[in-house]
Structure 1
Amino acid sequence: MLLIKRYLMDPESLRRQIMNVYKCYMWKRAFHSNRSLLEVKRREKSLQRKILERILRPKEENAVKKSGFKLWSSHLNNPHKTYMRLEELQRRIMEEVHVEGIKKNDKLFNEINQWHFQNENTSTVRTPTLLIHGYAASSMSFFRNYPGLSKHIRNLYSIDMPASGLSSVPSLEINTTTPLPLDIKFIGENKFKVPYTINANHNKFVIQMYEDFYLDRIEQWRIDNKLGKMNVVGHSFGGYLSFKYAVKYPNSVNKLCLVSPLGVERNIWSVNNNFHSNTLYTIDFKNPNSKFYSKRNMIPKYLFEQQFHILRMMGPLGAKLCWNYIMAAYSRVPSLAYKEYIFELFYGKGGIPEVTTDIFKALFSRCILAKDPLMDSLQYLNVKKLLIVYGQYDWMNKKAGMFMVKEVEQFKELSRRSKLFRNTFFRSQSFFR
């Protein structure tokens, strides 16, 4: 409570204190690992620090300030009210979206919330094209792309994935025994070993069951819409799922576009590695094509386990920090309704259902590296064309994408647009035509 009061009374003072503690922590790490002064300065602008800055002090320009107490008190409700707010905010967002042809919103069989943009006057892209959003997001992530894309794509679809946005929340059923998980013991700065071997096939089978929660429902959605082969565009976690969908249902995918895809890198957390027990291995921090690859930083276990629930546990402070982050992260997006929509997802009760976070934790490590990386399944990909897109300031691993396209035997292309950023679709509205 003291921390909350201090923030509400003097947020700038608290921000400075936290940033000073963070800097001391970084200098201490540098000293103990014998890193140079220049390396420390480079790391000061790490992803973690950027997020911390966004949370504690959003950019003043175009920032809409809201009371943490009012945000918190207005969200002491049940998931149904969160759903109603999301529904209203979706309506407000899409009212401002003007497209070529017909714009239609349905909840197919009361399960998948979908948008269909039909433009009979274009012949540029005749193949139906599906947009798949990332983690903790929805079809609204692409709202600024719809006008540009609908000019060139005859039938454009965008959906809220199961347990996302306004789609229903199916139950998660894993009908098998829980496998012994991969356990990695770190030794020093760059060594590790596994205390026991795992059943790789069983672990991979369970991972596929978690993935099928999404993949099978995407396929059923395609069948329900009476679509043949379609182009699939997936962003971030949606890119990971789009790739896995193309592998499982090769007859359903024509062209595949991965925008800043998550889970590309081979890494030490992969269940496909077959490490020997109690053998000392050296971590490779540079090569995302190596099974010994890992990142230096891990999300603390408690934060990874609790995720968005922590914000609600923090009361008014959590609401304020969440709003600050959204104001900073989406500062270039002019729509206030969209920012309020994101707040409902992140902070609203039931905005991000527990099943969504459970699946994500089952598929990724605390380094946000996939337990069944895309690069371990390249030999099974069979699409007409593959396009991988990264932004200039993308925090996804572009080097992994370069390795990936070198290994794919079909037609391949890696696009690095000089003016694209992490949220590519917000700044390049006609990119995928």
Structure 2
Amino acid sequence: MVVNYYIDRSILRVLAFDDAETEAWFIDSFEEWRKAKNLDKFILLGHSFGGYVAAKYALKHPEHVQHLILVGSAGFSSEADSKSEWLTKFRATWKGAIMNHLWESNFTPQKLVRGLGPWGPDMVRRYTSARFGAYANGEMLNETESKLLTDYVYHTLAAKASGELCLKYIFSFGAFARMPLLQRASEWKVPTTFIYGVQDWMNYKGAQEARKEMKVPCEIIRVPQGGHFVFIDNPVGFHSAVLYACRKFISSKPDSESLPEDLTLV
């Protein structure tokens, strides 16, 4: 199930002055949705920024999350990390300064697509064709699949501004969390599976560092031939990884389940 949250600009102006309050808006909204759906215990999966929100939700409401699955999750590194020197160097260039200014000004790809008006769909089509033209096995998306994906991406980007308006308050330029999840790893109370595409630009090593501090079961799975959108790049591998992560809940003999071929535990 996909849940979209829309946030009014006036509300954002109130919340955005405090990073913790901005995060709380997402977490508390999800908790209200859980109550409305009368859910008690469930497996929670989040991707990218959704993974960050899912992790923060699990930290606040661990009693409701049986297992947490984080796919290419943001938030496990900060620009203060020694490995982030490249960002400091890039910001010192004129290109980096412009990109950083655009980020801090809340100029998003969504805003660009909206501004293009009737030319927006064609630009999105060019992007999706170039980025998602084929699956990991080399099989091309058919015409129907390509159209559906383009329509989905376009309407998601062109819709009324919502969660995107919060990003700059939670992440600095480069997708570095202002309040990194790594700093709260010792507080983890929910068994967790991390899933990363081998070519994911989100670094899985942040999850490895977090695991050292966690006191609950934690595994990290890497899926071949997949990037940040591993569920599109290699859907078969991604589904295998998710099913393996959920083996305790769907298999009569979870301890005898072996990691599917081609997947890697790190």
- Regarding TM over 0.5, the answer is yes
Q: Give the Å deviation of 1:215.
A: 1.0
**Which consecutive unaligned segments of at least 5 residues does structure 2 have?**
91-95, 135-140, 244-266
1:306 aligns with 2:113: no
Q: Give the Å deviation of 1:302.
A: 2.5
Structure 1 residue identity aligned to 2:186: Q
Q: Give the aligned partner of residue 137 of structure 2.
A: none
Partner SS for 1:234: strand
Q: Give the aligned partner of residue 327 of structure 1.
A: 129
Q: Give the aligned partner of residue 159 of structure 1.
A: 2
Partner SS for 1:311: helix
Q: Is the 8 A contact 2:100 2:173 kept in 1?
A: yes
- Tell me the distance in 2 between the aligned counterparts of 1:355 and 1:411: 34
TM-score (norm 1): 0.46
Q: How does 1:199-218 map to 2 (within 5 A)?
A: 206-218=18-30
Q: Is the 8 A contact 1:295 1:367 kept in 2?
A: no
Q: Give the aligned partner of residue 369 of structure 1.
A: 176
Q: Give the aligned partner of residue 200 of structure 2.
A: 394
- Tell me the distance in 2 between the aligned counterparts of 1:319 and 1:174: 30
- Tell me the distance in 2 between the aligned counterparts of 1:412 and 1:217: 27
Q: Give the Å deviation of 1:323.
A: 2.7
Q: Is the 8 A contact 1:330 1:339 kept in 2?
A: no
Structure 2 residue identity aligned to 1:394: D
1:227 equivalent among 32, 39, 43: 39
1:381 aligns with 2:184: no
1:251 equivalent among 35, 38, 63: 63
Q: Is the alpha carbon distance of 1:175 and 1:413 closer, same or farther for their aligned partners in structure 2, counting shifts above 3 Å?
A: same
Partner SS for 1:255: strand
Partner SS for 1:390: strand
Give the number of aligned pairs: 221
Q: Name whichever structure is richer in helix by fraction.
A: 2
Q: Give the Å deviation of 1:397.
A: 1.1
- Tell me the distance in 2 between the aligned counterparts of 1:405 and 1:420: 23
Partner SS for 2:207: helix
- Tell me the distance in 2 between the aligned counterparts of 1:413 and 1:382: 14
Structure 1 residue identity aligned to 2:187: Y
Measured against aligned partners, the alpha-carbon deviations of 1:74-118 in whole angstroms (never above 9, x if no partner) come to xxxxxxxxxxxxxxxxxxxxxxxxxxxxxxxxxxxxxxxxxxxxx
Partner SS for 2:164: helix
Which stretch shifts more, 361-370 or 400-409?
400-409
Q: Give the Å deviation of 1:344.
A: 1.8
Q: Is the alpha carbon distance of 1:382 and 1:323 closer, same or farther for their aligned partners in structure 2, counting shifts above 3 Å?
A: same
Measured against aligned partners, the alpha-carbon deviations of 1:153-197 in whole angstroms (never above 9, x if no partner) come to xxxxx132312xxxx86962565794xxxxxxxxxxxxxxxxxxx
Q: Give the aligned partner of residue 240 of structure 1.
A: 52
Q: Is the 8 A contact 2:198 2:225 kept in 1?
A: yes
Q: Is the alpha carbon distance of 1:209 and 1:302 closer, same or farther for their aligned partners in structure 2, counting shifts above 3 Å?
A: same
Q: Give the Å deviation of 1:264.
A: 1.0
TM-score (norm 2): 0.73
Q: Is the 8 A contact 1:247 1:381 kept in 2?
A: yes
Measured against aligned partners, the alpha-carbon deviations of 1:378-399 in whole angstroms (never above 9, x if no partner) come to 122211x111111111111122
Structure of larger gyration radius: 1
Q: Is the alpha carbon distance of 1:216 and 1:174 closer, same or farther for their aligned partners in structure 2, counting shifts above 3 Å?
A: farther
Q: Is the 8 A contact 1:262 1:396 kept in 2?
A: yes
- Tell me the distance in 2 between the aligned counterparts of 1:395 and 1:312: 26
Q: Give the Å deviation of 1:356.
A: 1.9
- Tell me the distance in 2 between the aligned counterparts of 1:177 and 1:217: 16
Aligned-pair identity (%): 24
2:148 equivalent among 324, 337, 349: 337
- Tell me the distance in 2 between the aligned counterparts of 1:326 and 1:231: 30
Structure 2 residue identity aligned to 1:301: H
Structure 1 residue identity aligned to 2:173: R
- Tell me the distance in 2 between the aligned counterparts of 1:380 and 1:293: 30
1:406 equivalent among 202, 209, 212: 212
Q: Give the Å deviation of 1:296.
A: 4.6
Q: Give the Å deviation of 1:267.
A: 2.8
Measured against aligned partners, the alpha-carbon deviations of 1:121-146 in whole angstroms (never above 9, x if no partner) come to xxxxxxxxxxxxxxxxxxxxxxxxxx
